[in-house]
Structure 1
Amino acid sequence: MRKVIYILIIVMLSSCSSVRVVDSWKNDEILVFKPKKLLILGVTQNLTARKIFEEELKNEFMKHNINAYVSTDIFDTSFTDSQKTEEEINTLVNELSGKGFDAVIISVVKGVDEKKNYSQGYYNVGYSWRRFGRYYYTYQDIYYNPGYYSEYKVYHVEASIYNINEGDDKSLVWVGALDIVDPQTISTTVKEYVNTIISRLEIDRVITRI
């Protein structure tokens, strides 16, 4: 049985209040995909976010009996600070394969949308205020909640799993498109993002449901 490596590359966000799967696809030619060795790599200059993300995903994969490693156990902390050439990436793949890894999961932010939401204003009207003075007083600004705009961001993320020991026509195992909406905190974003990916991998029968 071929050994497996997942490299999860994600440009980490500060956090999010909502993560949803937009679409996903699994290679039907791959009937059994049993990863034995997993490398998780979060690409971000925020070392804290990277470590939290990798440890969270490692714990989830370990629950599925997948032997997982965080990237800081394999590479130095500056590994993700610069872009790599195709030759450097191929060399990296060969080195990883030599260490027993044979699959890659890549997650990247494909784009960011700026969104704006308008909340309409409203009056607080009390029907017990039947005198003119009370009625007039009700419609002054002190009793009016004005409308307002709130701005937020939607990050479009794509996660893909590749088997690095297969030819180009069979290497893609699974791909998922996800939206991360309105980041708030690192821990919330990481947990929800990881749980959403794991859940989708179970649904698509890439990994076994527990």
Structure 2
Amino acid sequence: MKRIALFIGILLFSACSSTRFVDSWKNQEITSFEPKKMLVIGMTDNLTARKIFEEKLKNAFVLRNIYAVESTGIIDGTFTTSKKSEEEIDEMIKKLAKQGFDTVVITSVKGVDERVDYHTEYYPSIGYRWSRFGRYYYWYQDIYYAPQYYNSYKVYNVETVIYNINEDDTKSLIWVGALNLVDPQTITSTINDYVDKIIKQLEREKLIKEL
């Protein structure tokens, strides 16, 4: 649960942020994707990040004529305060189905990588063609003396998964998309970038219509 709580935008960083698409998987048995009622879930205990993310992704689906709803108004807050058994989760899914939901889009952080970059301004333009060891050592000795030589940052491995929760349909897993959030700065800008990447990929794979 603690790892999941590291969802989009919880920490602020000073370096430039970006969202990078990594990979996706689509159920090839799915010939058409026409959800009647979709639930959007952001798995985090940061209520602000969750609300902003769910609203942004929901609005993106609504713009494409997909009836989507944020989970913050559907799943009781007490449900997320403790770890649930598979039976309890199945019971929640049944309740969602009774409310007319047939599709769930859920996003969570799968892990966090620590990365280190070298600042490019320390590298001379003449490249790696050195004639003398002394010259090489002269250019790169800042590794020892300049704390700015290294730039440490974090990469959040985030996954969005689409499920069909209709009991009459055995093709439950529809789509999985993996993205990396590189040094996120603010909640809003990071979420906007992430949602944009997810929607565009779903359009490319013909799961949703382009505007």
- TM-score bin, normalised by smaller chain: 0.7 to 0.9
Kindly provide the CA deviation profile for residues 153-203 of structure 1, in whole angstroms up to 9, marking residues without a partner as x: 011112111112257962111111111111110001111111111111111
1:28 aligns with 2:1: no
| Partner Cα distance (1:62, 1:10) in 2 | 27
Match in the other structure for 2:195: 194
Tell me the secondary structure at the aligned position of residue 42 of structure 2. Answer: coil
Whole-Å separation in 1 of the counterparts to 2:162 and 2:122: 49
Instruction: Provide the residue aligned with 1:13 in structure 2.
Output: 8
Q: TM-score, normalised by structure 2?
A: 0.77
Aligned counterparts of 2:40 and 2:6: Cα–Cα separation in 1 = 13
Distance 1:121 1:18 in 2: 21
CA offset at residue 109 of structure 1?
1.5
Query: 5+ residue gaps in structure 2?
Result: 124-145
* Deviation for aligned residue 1:78: 4.2
Cα distance in 2 between the residues matched to 1:193 and 1:174:
16
Q: Which moved more, 1:107-116 or 1:74-83?
A: 74-83
> Matched residues in 1 for 2:98 and 2:196: separation?
30
Partner-residue secondary structure (3-state), 1:162: strand
Sort the Cα spacing of 1:122 and 1:41 in 2 relative to 1 into closer, same or farther, 3 A: closer
Paired residue secondary structure (2:54):
helix
1:91-139 Cα distance to aligned partner (Å, 9 max, x none): 011111111112222222111110011115559xxxxxxxxxxxxxxxx
C-alpha distance in structure 2 between counterparts of 1:89 and 1:177, whole Å: 24
Q: Is the 8 A contact 1:10 1:107 kept in 2?
A: no
1:102 maps to what in 2? 102
Q: Which structure: larger Rg?
A: 1
| Equivalent pair of 1:112/1:155 in contact (CA under 8 Å) | yes
More helix by share: 2
Output the CA distance in 2 between the equivalents of 1:113 and 1:65. Answer: 37
Alignment partner, residue 4 of structure 1:
none
Deviations 1:20-39 (A, max 9, x none): 11111111211111112111
Contact 1:13 1:186 in 2 (8 A): yes
5+ residue gaps, structure 1, are 1-8, 124-145
- Counterpart in the other structure of 2:135: none
